[in-house]
Amino acid sequence: MVRTRLTAQERHTQLVAAAVTAFAQGGYAGTTTDQVARIAGVSQPYVIRIFGSKQELFLATMRHAGDRVQQMWRTAAAEDPSLRGLGMAYKQLLAERDLLVVLLHGFAAAADPGLGDAVRQCYGDLFTLVRDLTGASAEEARDFFAAGMLITVLGAMRVLGPDAVPTQPWMADLLGALPYE
């Protein structure tokens, strides 16, 4: 048996990574804890024991995605603290599209009372960070987040990012006009 045991900490990290993949595909309600467990190669009850509940697993997954975006923006701002710099960084995140799609699923699931507050908090943190890093006005930040939401939704629709669906006529117009090139 080459397989060695991991510490709970390592397993936690690995499970969150697996959850990003799983939740990006099916959303909160449409993903089972067993799917996450299979991706990580552990049993389903163990996932529950580490996170306590499916909801906590999802929250941890969303927090991780938000943290990754924050980290990306901080790094980008160190070189180019403009909205354009952060925008290019966000488009690079399409390479890890699942992260963005998990965030979108979280936003869409904000009606769930157990998730709403955490979701709004996550979004607020991102908004505040962008303004802090760039000093952008409210209007500039609004346009920045609008473009970000468009990119995110197009990613979720499999129109942008890895394994994008074959281009349809209207898409070419929209994609050719995307900002932050």
Which residues make up the interface to its own copies (CB under 8 A)? 24-30, 101, 104-105, 107-112, 116, 119-120, 123-124, 127-128, 131, 137-139, 141-143, 145-147, 149-150, 152-153, 156-159, 165, 168-171, 173-174, 176-179
Helix (H, G, I), strand (E, B) or coil at 171: helix
Residues 6+ apart with CB under 8 A from 11: 40, 42, 46, 50
Closest by CA to 105, choosing from 155, 52, 166, is 155
Which span (5-13, 76-84, 107-115, 146-154) binds DNA, by CB under 7 A?
5-13
The residue among 42 and 150 lying less far from DNA, judged by its C-beta, is 42
**66 contacts: CB under 8 Å, gap ≥ 6:** 103, 122, 125, 126
d(CA 4, CA 151): 40
Minimal distance, residue 12 CB to DNA, in Å: 9
The number of beta carbons lying within 10 Å of the beta carbon of residue 16 is 20
- In this chain, which stretch among 7-15, 85-93, 124-132, 158-166 interacts with DNA, using CB under 7 A? 7-15
Binding mask 103-142 for DNA (x = CB under 7 A): ----------------------------------------
Cβ closest to DNA, residue 5 vs residue 138: 5
Q: Answer yes or no whether residue 41 interacts with DNA by CB under 7 A.
A: yes
* Separation in Å, CA 167 to CA 90, 94, 95: 22, 17, 18
Comparison of 44 and 70: residue with beta carbon closer to DNA: 44
Q: Is 125 exposed, middle or buried (0-12, 13-18, 19+ CB in 10 A)?
A: middle
The footprint of DNA (CB under 7 A) covers: 1, 4-9, 11, 31-34, 41-46, 48-49, 53-55
